[in-house]
Amino acid sequence: MAKQVGFIGLGRMGEPMALRLVAAGYELVVYDVRPESVAALTAKGARAAASPAEVASAVYTVLLSLPTPPIVREVAAKVGSGSKVKTVIDLSTTGATAAREIAAALATKGITAVDSPVSGGVAGAVAGTLAVMVAGPRALCAELEPMLAVFGKVFFIGERPGMGQTMKLANNLLSATAMAATAEAVVFGVKSGLDPAVMCDVINAGSGRNTASMDKVPRQVITRKFAQGFATGLMYKDVRLCLEEADAVGVPMSVASGVRALWARANEELGADSDMTAIVQLIERAAGVEVRGK
Q: Give me the active site residues, please.
A: 168
Q: Considering only CA atoms, which of 161, 148, 71 is closest in space to residue 112?
A: 161
How many C-beta neighbours within 10 Å does residue 220 have?
21
CA-CA distance, 28 to 62, in Å (whole number)?
10
Q: Considering only CA atoms, which of 122, 205, 129, 117 is closest in space to residue 166?
A: 117
Dihedrals phi, psi of 77, to nearest 5 degrees = -65, -40
Contacts of 170 (CB under 8 A, 6+ apart): 242
Q: 152: helix, coil or strand?
A: strand
CB burial of residue 207 (10 Å; 0-12, 13-18, 19+): exposed
DSSP characters over 184-246: HHHHHHHHTT--HHHHHHHHHHSTT--HIIIIIIIIIITTT----S-BHHHHHHHHHHHHHHH
CA-CA distance, 86 to 63, in Å (whole number)?
11
CA-CA distance, 5 to 92, in Å (whole number)?
17
Dihedrals phi, psi of 63, to nearest 5 degrees = -105, 140
